[in-house]
Every structure is written in structure tokens, then in C-alpha cells.
Structure 1
Amino acid sequence: MNQTEILNQISHLKNISNQEDKLYSILKTYIDIFPVEDAFLYRYSPIGYLCEGVIGLSSSRIINIREERASIKTSPGFIPLLKEKKARFYSGIDLIKLMTSDYIFPSTINSTLVAPLCIGEVIIGFILSYHFEGEPNFDKKLLTTITHFAKFSGGLLDNNEMIGNTESLSKREVEVMQRISWGENTEEIANYLGISNQTVQQYVKSVLKKLKVQNRTHAIAVLLRKGIIG
């Protein structure tokens, strides 16, 4: 399957406005096209190498993985993935190296397929699969096709569930997040801006809600990539 064929397979996803439906459809299409039986989508922040669960799909059953969160900075197997931005299939010793990261991977798996979701050259997430149809041969050609699919899917998620809406942030919300990115704590920010600690926390809470992220680290990563803060 070439890039044109992949685009034809996922072009309909552009017309889906509901965020959850789009995420579900991406994973469903992924399972339909490739020899995988499940797919789990994680958002990724380069600050702290943090992965956070978004949604999983197995046998047409939606699985809630939003409580899953882990840093992959201790996983040697992820280093080439982050550098190359290409799908990789892990088994044997390579899988053992990958599983040194904290708790993302089920302890019972024998192999896994990891596809990075990218916007341009920036990785915003991963699709992971643990169960496969028979014993598929994930050769270079198939992995290249999977890489293309994940790249196109990443583009579809820009300004969507994986990223959120940065345009709705107020000037003060941006200022608070900028100072957080500089390493200032809540009290320092409150003193500088002449507001209460509680108000600072409310600004942060509002930003997380608007960006649809779960913590400050991921929010800062999004704002840095978008050029909102520097």
C-alpha cells in the first residue's frame, strides 16, 4: 500500500468533527488495514519524555487508558524510535529493552508494534499494538507503510484531541504558563503578578482544560511547539 492508497483509506476521517469519534476511527482503520488485533493511542510530551494514555481499541471494544502515564526516558528501545520517527516492531531482547520504561507495557506480551504519530518532525503520540493476526512479517516495506499511516493520522489530530485549542488562551494564561516554563513555582508567579496562589492555580486549570491535557508538563510542551511561549 503506497501513500496515495493510505490517504484514500483515511481521507474520510477529515470530515469527522467529534474528537472521540475521530480517535476511534483512526484506531479502527489502523486495525482494519494492518495485521494487528488491538491499538492503543498515547499522547507524548518531549518534556520528561512523558506518555499519557488516550484511548485503546480491541475487538471493536473501546478501552479507557487515560489513567496510564509513564516516562520513557529510561527505555533504550525508544531512543531510535524518537530519532528516526519510524514504526518499529519489538520482540526478544529488543522488547526487554523497551519494557524497562515504567508500566506502559503489559507484562504478558511477547511482542509489540510502535508507530509514532507526528506533525511535521514533531512526535505528538504513539500507537501501540500487542496482539497480531497469526505471525505477521513486519518487514521494512510494511513498517514503512505503517509509518506513513501514523504520520497522516498525526496531521489529522493537529488542533484536535491530541493538541487542544491554543487560540482560546488569554494573555494572562499564557503569561502564567510562560513563567512556569521558566521554572517558577506558584508562589513566585503569584508574587510577580500580584495575584493569589489560588488565582494562579485557576489559570493553570483553565489552560489544561482548553488544551485537553492532564498536567503542566504536557501543556508547556504543546505551547512551546506551537510557539505560544518560548
Structure 2
Amino acid sequence: MVGSLDEEILRIRLIDSANEKLSELLKAFHHHFPCQLVHLFRYSIFDQRIDGIFSCDQGMIKAIPQWHDDARTIPFLYDALQLKKVVHLEGESFQIRLSSKYTLNEPVENMIVLPIIVNDVIVAFICAINTNFEFNNEMSRYLQGFGEQMKQLLHVEQVPSASRAVTLSEKELRVMQYTANGFTTKEIASFLNIAESTVKYFINNVMTKTSSRNRTEAVANLYRASLLI
């Protein structure tokens, strides 16, 4: 399993588009870690917001940008994310806490939550539903390794030493993640329930910290510094 996954990782490494890389990585996860359904979400520790990116069902990718939620309203998921490691959920306790919002037509027997961590901050996570493999310590290491590969593949450029020193607040990071995803200042203000002027203030701060001439250059510098996914 490891060899063939390594080959796929090498192939995906050659893809230029970040979104195409994400979709191919999700397909690879679904293939090598068999499950009924797998979702990829962005995550913010600032406001505990989760935003859908892609889902993969039987090898078919579907964009899920309409999926937005507060992780705190899904206790089993919120608790799993706080651990910052691969978590396997099953059993009676899991069933009791399972939100009907995230159930399928078929029963949800188990779930794996795999966080993607950059600079000790969870920026995204994979949620695999009804897995068809035994979860043990070895499998946990494989899954954790996949998460590391995923993070590295999205930030393959070498980072200048000055860029590594960039430190963003969680508010700045959240605003820039939305900016990188193509949302306008007005939309970001609405998502975060803050004023448009506050959004601009955060963006200007980041431009100063990254020595960028505009927000586009700031986003590029943050990708190089592995601060965005």
C-alpha cells in the first residue's frame, strides 16, 4: 500500500493547481484508506468555523463550498479536533453524540478525523465516514503521514529565511485564508461578523509583515511560508 501511495504522491507533486492537488489527494486518500465517504474541510481556531472544500464518494469529487458550520455545535467533532491527532470514533458514545446533520442514508458506524496542521495550528481536516480497514497504531501512523504529505505537497517551494519569520494572529490568518480563496472584503466581513474596515486593517497588517505590495503578493508569500492551505 505504501509504495503505490508514494507513486501517487510523486504524480500529484507535479500538478500546478492547488485545487487540483487537493482533489487528487482526496481521491488518493479514498483509494488507499477505503471508506464510504470522505470530506475535506477548512478550519479556524479563531471562531471554530468549518468550511467545506471537497467530498469524495466512490472516487468522484464534488465541491462543497456551501457547507459552513461552527465546530462547537458538533461536540464529537470539536472534541476530536482539540486533540490535534488522528482520531477514530466509533461505539455507543459516538452514536449518541452524532449530529443528524452529518449522517447518511445508511448508518454511520465509525469516523476518522485527520487534522492538517501548519505551525501547530489546525488549518484543515479530513473526515472519513464508515472506514473499511482496521484502525490500529500502524494505521494511525500511515494516516498521520498522509496528513504530513498533504501539507508538504501544498507548499513545495523553498521558503526564504525572512518568510519563515512571519507570524500572524489567528484573525489575520483567517482573513487571509478567505482572501486566498477569492472572497471579497465584503464577503469576508460577513463571514466573520466584523466591519469591512477591520478586514482591510488585517490585510494591511499582513502586507506589512510579509513586505508585500498588495494582497495578491501577500497571499503568495503566505503560501510559500506554509501559513495557508
Mapped pair 1:185 → 2:195: yes
* Structure 1: runs of 5+ lacking an equivalent: 167-172, 194-205, 212-221
2:152 matched to which residue of 1? 155
When the two chains are superposed, the root-mean-square deviation of aligned CA atoms in Å is 4.1
| Residues 119 and 227 in structure 2, CA contact (< 8 A), matched pair in contact too | no
Going from structure 1 to structure 2, the CA distance change for 1:163 and 1:19 (only over 3 Å counts) comes to same
Once the two structures are TM-superposed, the CA of residue 44 in structure 1 deviates from its matched residue by 0.7
Percent of pairs identical after alignment? 18
Going from structure 1 to structure 2, the CA distance change for 1:111 and 1:23 (only over 3 Å counts) comes to same
1:116 matched to which residue of 2? 115
Mapped pair 1:40 → 2:65: no
Tell me how far apart the structure 2 counterparts of residues 8 and 118 of structure 1 sit (CA, whole Å).
23
Once the two structures are TM-superposed, the CA of residue 13 in structure 1 deviates from its matched residue by 2.1
- Aligned-partner residue type, residue 185 of structure 1: A
2:101 matched to which residue of 1? 103
Tell me how far apart the structure 1 counterparts of residues 37 and 113 of structure 2 sit (CA, whole Å).
12
Pick one of 142, 147, 167 that aligns with 2:139. Answer: 142
| Residues 33 and 131 in structure 2, CA contact (< 8 A), matched pair in contact too | no
Going from structure 1 to structure 2, the CA distance change for 1:141 and 1:63 (only over 3 Å counts) comes to same
1:201 matched to which residue of 2? none
- Which of 119-128 and 86-95 deviates more? 86-95
Tell me how far apart the structure 2 counterparts of residues 18 and 34 of structure 1 sit (CA, whole Å).
24
| Residues 51 and 71 in structure 1, CA contact (< 8 A), matched pair in contact too | yes
SS at match of 1:128: strand
SS at match of 2:101: coil
* Structure 2: runs of 5+ lacking an equivalent: 157-175, 202-213
1:17 matched to which residue of 2? 16
Going from structure 1 to structure 2, the CA distance change for 1:103 and 1:24 (only over 3 Å counts) comes to same
Larger radius of gyration: 1
Tell me how far apart the structure 2 counterparts of residues 13 and 164 of structure 1 sit (CA, whole Å).
24
Going from structure 1 to structure 2, the CA distance change for 1:149 and 1:40 (only over 3 Å counts) comes to same
SS at match of 2:66: coil
- Aligned-partner residue type, residue 60 of structure 1: G
TM-score (structure 1 length as normaliser): 0.61
| Residues 95 and 112 in structure 1, CA contact (< 8 A), matched pair in contact too | no
Paired residues in the alignment total 181
Tell me how far apart the structure 2 counterparts of residues 104 and 50 of structure 1 sit (CA, whole Å).
16
